[in-house]
Chains A and B, each alone.
Chain A
């Protein structure tokens, strides 16, 4: 929790001369209701550096960014701008202090021109009227200054997302930003587009702008960043020089377990007998542009496949393609021996596949319905509205699962939104078990729930697999994945990088795979790149 005294003086590029940070956040704490989202987190930004903000889901990255941009108010702690104390009561106040943000989804208006998007709100005017010619000229100057050749008079929405992203940065730059926050700007860009973005970032760094960079792609972090701040569970882990931190160290810091303790997990030997006969589910080269490169996967009866990988590695994307929640661009899926293109979740459900999304609130819970209705939703949907589930069956199923999963309150007529996260997750699990699936895909089923519920869900998954259900289990917690799975799939940068039976695999093995160290024999050039 202590800050190392690292100054970005020895970074290769444009050594900043200033000793005072342009922004310093000290001991920031933010609480939502009873949840402590940030506790005593500090962040220092120096002019002319690219500063990576690292952390898994729930680490507090976006909360910290929103505190800096004035969206959230800070409960305790201080923010210093150029050494002087400031408090940002609104996004406008933060912008006035020279902090600009570019979000993952382009926050511009697609129906106006590039120049307007860059200058809206501060257009050059003559006699009160917007001077279009001057506006286009100024926009072109800014774009040229960033090395971009975009027609300022063209409509923004006609450009690809990457260009829109760059225009958003150009807008941020035009306000003479001292701090530029890039929140996952690369998540939908291809490699050429990323290169273009990095070129712009380097130019800005040379001009003395402090850039906060959030990305899930480790290679990108190592390519562009000078320093980084690592967060975990709302707390500061460390501030580090990128050049002094190996990828393995970084991954360990982000996931952060005491490794020795984890090695001593009690675990049943993996069920390798499962891998006989035809797979229940087979994916051949399934992929989708911008979310997953072509991936193969085979799932056998009674087998648990654990998918490990960092946020943004493609783990969720793979699960969604297996369920038809998103449609594939390439590749094909085979169920038992039937080849099938999934156009909607219905197709998957009809083939006895179940999927519990990582985003419980937005994609799982139907808050204003009762626990009973939430449990029976999937079964009822597959029966159609004309064939309601008979009352006696309803009661039997609901009571059975409330008891089996220990759902509290044990009241079928309680409203779903009044349940705790853990109990909501159990209800969602019940929703799918009621449909008697053959394949169960669980994406982060234990995120953000209490220990007790977590253990119960894990036990249930193990029990179901023993009964012959095939499970795809995705979690950010490696120990959980290792404990439950028979076979392990490791993902990184939107593709599968490793697959092995879960024999004597330790958490540190997985960390090494994720960090790319284990690949070094096959791909030496990768190693050089990351070490550079």
Chain B
């Protein structure tokens, strides 16, 4: 904070005296972390301060953003979805295979989205109606989706459909800077999700379940619908992320996206969402993905650090956020 004061300006006093509500603090911390990393990188490495680097972050991580959005819904209810990485792989495979078989790209896209949504629905039903722990039910989903991927093809299939590849490279220019369509889709997803969580009855019920499921039940909220709903959303987001990923990588492969669920969970947690549920924002998850992305970019700019540092740093960030959250919630209770 700057030490300069303007005794006459009451507006400045108000700005100075403004403290953000504590519930926004985690997101602000993540934003500060991102700005700090970006700023430090900009000072240290030539060319990193370019706005296009920021836009490229969005382009390169579009699929992860969408994945993290779906995961945010699940984690907000206090659950977890381990299946999303496998669903991404399955989605690339369905897209590649159907296109190879000569399906229309639109039909192919519909098939991918329907599959992911259906898988999410099945897991949600298992979790809610049979009281199976989310991590074990989605573990079954992980195996199932990976198995289905292999069932379609053990080999990698490349995507060469013209409409599809055109979609992949569709670009929007802002003067000399540009964004791919995939990134725009991701940003739209974030916007819709933020709206749903903040302004709809469904969204608020998601938070209520994360705060206390039994209370939500006693308050007469639609707990069953919402609990199943978040896994449907997560399944849908995972398949949408799978589509974006196949647009990015232009192939279907059963070895794609191994461990991507961990990246998504890490992004959500670094974005300030409480793993026990009830607190967090999709915007935070977007920032979480960007923090992971900027670390990746910094490491590649540096050149001397190996890529595995990304995982270690992610782990350290995860630890920091989890421990801080733990003490923050312990103090409150």
Q: Of B199, B200, B207, B218, which one neighbours A112 at CB under 8 angstroms?
A: B207
CB pair A107 B215 closer than 8 Å: yes
Q: CA separation between A130 and B218, bound complex, in Å? A: 21
| Contacting pair A128 B200 (CB below 8 A) | yes
Contacts of A107 in B (CB 8 A): 212, 214-215, 218-219
Q: Mark A4-42, 1 if CB is under 8 A from B, else 0.
A: 000000000000000000000000000000000000000
| B211 proximal to A (CB < 8 A) | yes
Cβ A120 vs Cβ B211 within 8 A:
no
- A-chain residues with CB within 8 Å of residue B220 when the two chains form the complex: 91-92, 95, 121
Q: Is the CB of B219 within 8 A of A111?
A: no
A109-B278, A130-B200 known; A120 and B219 CB under 8 Å?
yes
Instruction: Decide yes or no: A130 and B219 within 8 Å by CB, A110-B212, A155-B23 being known contacts.
Output: no
Per the bound structure, the CA–CA distance linking A123 and B220 in Å amounts to: 13
Q: How many A-B residue pairs have CB under 8 A?
A: 68
Pairwise interchain contact A123-B219, C-beta atoms closer than 8 A: no
Please tell me if A386 contacts chain B, counting CB pairs below 8 Å.
Answer: no
Q: Determine the chain B residues whose CB is within 8 A of the CB of A98 once the complex forms.
A: none
B 210-237 to A, binary, CB cutoff 8 A, 1 in contact else 0: 1110111011110000000000000000
A108 CB–B CB distance under 8 Å: yes
Q: What distance in Å separates the Cβ of B215 from its nearest Cβ neighbour in chain A?
A: 4
Report A435 CB to chain B, min CB distance, Å. Answer: 32
In the complex, the answer to whether B210 meets A111 with C-beta atoms within 8 Å is: yes
Chain A residue at minimum C-beta to C-beta distance from B21: A155
CB distance from A14 to the nearest CB of B (A): 29
CB-CB under 8 A from B210, the residues of chain A are: 111
B279 within 8 A of A: yes
The residue on B at minimum CB distance from A126 is: B199
* Interface 0/1 of B276-298, CB less than 8 Å to A: 00110000000000000000000
Residues in chain B near residue A128, CB distance under 8 A: 200
B128 at the interface (CB under 8 A from A): no
* Total residues of chain B contacting the partner, CB 8 A: 24
Interface string of B43-80 (1 = CB under 8 A from A): 00000000000000000000000000000000000000
Do A120 and B199 have beta carbons less than 8 Å apart? no
- Per-residue CB contact flags for chain B residues 190-214 toward chain A (1 = under 8 Å, else 0) read 0000010001110011011011101
Partner of B200, one of A103, A109, A121, A129: A129
CB-CB under 8 A for A121 and B279, given A109-B211, A109-B212: no
* Residues of chain A in range 97-156 having any CB-CB distance to chain B below 8 Å: 101, 103, 106-112, 116, 120-121, 123, 125, 128-130, 132, 155
Q: Is the CB of A111 within 8 A of B211?
A: yes
In order of increasing CB-CB distance, the 10 nearest A-B pairs are A109-B211, A111-B278, A111-B211, A129-B199, A107-B215, A109-B208, A107-B218, A130-B199, A109-B212, A121-B221
Would you give 25 A-B contacts (Cβ < 8 Å), ordered by A? A101-B218, A107-B212, A107-B219, A109-B207, A109-B208, A109-B211, A109-B216, A110-B212, A110-B332, A111-B210, A111-B278, A111-B279, A112-B208, A116-B208, A120-B205, A120-B208, A121-B205, A121-B220, A123-B204, A128-B200, A129-B195, A129-B199, A130-B200, A130-B204, A158-B332
Known pairs A108-B212, A128-B200. 5 more at Cβ < 8 A?
A111-B23, A111-B207, A123-B204, A155-B23, A157-B332
What residues of chain B have their CB less than 8 Å away from a CB belonging to chain A? 21-23, 195, 199-201, 204-205, 207-208, 210-212, 214-216, 218-221, 278-279, 332
Question: Which chain A residues have a beta carbon within 8 Å of chain B's beta carbons?
Answer: 91-92, 95, 101, 103, 106-112, 116, 120-121, 123, 125, 128-130, 132, 155, 157-158, 171
